[in-house]
């Protein structure tokens, strides 16, 4: 047994995770597991996780901020899986692990003699094995590499994001990667729950392709029902109006009106009560059909009010509205502070996991590990002696900390 990580409690205390993932979706998934108490061992290749170099900016340790946002609370070791000695170490790690997560190209683990069906499920029948990939293991695109923005393009997300001036536009955050990480997380937790009943683990998959296609709501449903291919709407909603950003006196405000009662209150608040009785705008279907005429009527009234006054006033009467904040404004707003969204651990700062557990609260761990930071401690905990550890380091099977 390797030394146990500090007892941070949490819903997943006692769950042990071997994390072979890099970049975003996989590390996000395993960071969430760590935040909620799992003991996560991050296993990197000799070249390290690519996100260590995705900067600037870099932190005081020389690590990219990108890497730091996805790997807190883990312990780190590097293994050259091309060497049998490194694969032997992985088997030791798996001896009492609950979960293995990897995001290699499908077929890689099989080439190393570590396939789930043929090897791992037989040696470790309680193991939950999660593979994260671009397109899954088979089919016309199976086993090909995939990245967030490429999947946004291929799966139609860019086609409904942007406006006539910008053309199809990548979402400003890697949403496909993010949601795939949560799909992987959900699948792992469901498999662990099933294991309580059956006593055995299983293999689960999360692919960027499946995730991206699933994000086409409501656009796919609209196309299936109407036969009309959705297009660019900027910040507007295809099925709701007014649901868009508008220029106020000192910036942009987003207004989201879902029902007729909200629309009536909105019209009265901006001094345009007659709009609510205009047959072109009285119901949401009519407002969607006549969205341009509606926009022309409300824009002048909105442009006369400051963002803060307008959004606060609308929210107070039950009409969802908010300022279009930049990143600094979003993190700095009082409610983000009240919700304790920022984690600080010495020099480390990050965004907490969004799940709030009142009975078994999350407790974020230490700063993300430096490359191979915990190699010696982990190997000693697996029962290796100093001579065996030195052999692994000197041959590069378990590269030492840089």
pLDDT tens profile 201-219: 999 999 999 999 999 999 9
Rounded to 5 degrees, what are φ and ψ at 58?
-120, 150
**Which pLDDT score is estimated for 313?**
97
Helix (H, G, I), strand (E, B) or coil at 7: coil
The pLDDT-based confidence of 283 (bands split at 50, 70, 90) is very high
Spell out the SS3 assignment of 106-165: CCHHHHCCCCHHHHHHHHCCCCEEEEEECCCCCCCCCCCCCCHHHHHHHCCCHHHCCCCC
Which pLDDT score is estimated for 250? Answer: 96
Average pLDDT in the 232-255 region? 96
**Residues near 306 by beta carbon (within 8 Å), at least 6 away in sequence:** 248, 249, 250
Residue 190 has pLDDT above 90, yes or no: yes
Whether residue 2 is predicted with pLDDT greater than 50 in this model: the reply is: no
Query: Which structure tokens are listed for 381?
Result: 């905990």
Q: Which residues contact 130 (CB under 8 A, 6 or more apart)?
A: 29, 99, 100, 101, 102, 184, 187, 188, 191, 203, 204, 205, 206
Contacts (Cβ under 8 Å, ≥6 apart) of 231? 159, 160
Mean pLDDT score, 327-339: 96
Average confidence (pLDDT) over 249-259? 97
Look up residue 5 and give its DSSP letter. Answer: P
- What digits encode the pLDDT tens for the residues 16-57? 999 999 999 999 999 999 999 999 999 999 999 999 999 999
Give residue for tokens 């508008």: 246
Of 35, 98, 148, 177, the active-site residue reads 177
pLDDT of 400 reads 87
| Confidence band for 8, pLDDT divided at 50, 70 and 90 | low
Q: 49, 74 in Cβ contact below 8 A?
A: no
| For range 282-299, the mean pLDDT | 97
Show contacts of 294-302: CB within 8 Å, 24+ apart.
294/241, 294/242, 295/242, 295/244, 295/246, 297/272, 298/242, 298/246, 298/270, 298/272, 299/246, 299/247, 301/270, 301/271, 301/272, 302/246, 302/247, 302/248, 302/253, 302/255, 302/270
Average pLDDT of the chain, as a whole number: 95
Q: Tell me the per-residue pLDDT of 352-371, one tens digit each, with 9 for 90 and over.
A: 999 999 999 998 888 999 99
Q: Phi and psi at residue 351, in whole multiples of 5°?
A: -95, 130
Cβ atoms of 21 and 29 within 8 Å: the answer is yes
DSSP state of 104: S
Q: What was the pLDDT predicted at 7? A: 57
Least confidently predicted of 58-62, 84-88, 96-100, 320-324: 58-62
Look at residue 100 in the predicted model and tell me its pLDDT: 98
Q: In the structure, what pLDDT confidence band is assigned to residue 135 with cuts at 50, 70 and 90?
A: very high
- What the chain holds in terms of domains, given with CATH numbers, is 16-214+342-395 (3.40.50.10540), 243-247+252-323 (3.30.1540.10)
Give the model's pLDDT for residue 46: 96
pLDDT reported for residue 1: 29
Query: Per DSSP, what are the bridge partners of residue 351?
Result: 342
Quote the pLDDT of residue 345: 83
Rounded-to-integer distance, Cα 375 and Cα 401, Å: 8
148 is catalytic: no
Q: Which SS3 state, helix, strand or coil, does residue 95 take?
A: coil
pTM of the full predicted structure? 0.92
Reported as a pLDDT band with limits 50, 70 and 90, residue 152 is very high
Determine the Cα–Cα distance for residues 51 and 233; give it in Å rounded to an integer.
Answer: 33
CA distance 26 to 40: 12
The first and second tokens of residue 53, run together, are: 């170099």
Question: Above pLDDT 70, what percent of the chain?
Answer: 98
CA 328/CA 303 separation, integer angstroms: 24
């Amino acid at each position: 047994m390797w030394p146990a990580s500090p007892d941070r409690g949490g819903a997943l205390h006692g769950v042990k995770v071997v994390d072979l993932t890099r970049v975003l979706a996989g590390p996000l998934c395993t960071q969430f597991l760590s935040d909620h108490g799992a003991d996560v061992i991050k296993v990197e290749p000799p070249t390290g996780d690519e996100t260590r170099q995705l900067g600037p900016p870099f932190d005081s340790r020389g690590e990219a901020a990108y890497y730091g946002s996805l790997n807190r609370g883990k312990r780190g070791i590097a293994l050259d899986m091309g060497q049998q000695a490194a694969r032997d170490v992985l088997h030791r790690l798996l001896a009492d692990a609950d979960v293995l997560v990897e995001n290699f190209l499908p077929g890689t683990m099989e080439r190393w003699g570590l396939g789930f069906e043929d090897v791992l499920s037989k040696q470790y029948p309680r193991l939950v094995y999660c593979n994260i990939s671009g397109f899954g293991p088979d089919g016309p695109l199976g086993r090909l590499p995939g990245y967030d923005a490429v999947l946004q393009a291929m799966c139609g997300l860019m086609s409904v994001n942007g406006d006539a001036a910008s053309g199809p536009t990548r979402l400003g955050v890697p949403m496909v990667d993010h949601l795939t990480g949560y799909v992987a997380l959900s699948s792992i937790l469901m498999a662990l729950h099933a294991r309580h009943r059956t006593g055995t683990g299983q293999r689960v998959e999360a692919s960027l392709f499946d995730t991206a296609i699933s994000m086409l709501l409501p656009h796919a449903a609209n196309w299936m029902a109407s036969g009309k291919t959705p297009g660019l709407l900027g910040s507007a909603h295809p099925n709701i109006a007014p649901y868009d950003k508008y220029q106020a006196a000192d910036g942009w405000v987003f207004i989201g009106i879902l029902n007729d009662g909200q629309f009536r209150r909105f019209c009265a608040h901006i001094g345009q009560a007659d709009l609510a009785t205009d047959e072109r705008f009285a119901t949401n279907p009519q407002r969607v059909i006549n969205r341009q005429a509606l926009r022309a009527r409300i824009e002048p009234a909105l442009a006369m009010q400051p963002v803060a006054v307008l959004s606060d006033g609308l929210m107070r009467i039950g009409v969802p509205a908010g300022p279009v904040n930049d990143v600094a404004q979003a993190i700095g707003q009082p409610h983000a502070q009240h919700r304790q969204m920022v984690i600080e651990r010495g020099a480390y700062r990050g965004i907490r996991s969004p799940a709030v557990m009142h009975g078994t609260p999350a407790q974020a761990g230490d700063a993300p590990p430096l490359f191979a930071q915990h190699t010696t401690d982990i190997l000693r905990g697996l029962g290796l002696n100093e001579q065996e550890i030195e052999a692994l380091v000197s041959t590069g099977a378990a590269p030492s900390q840089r």
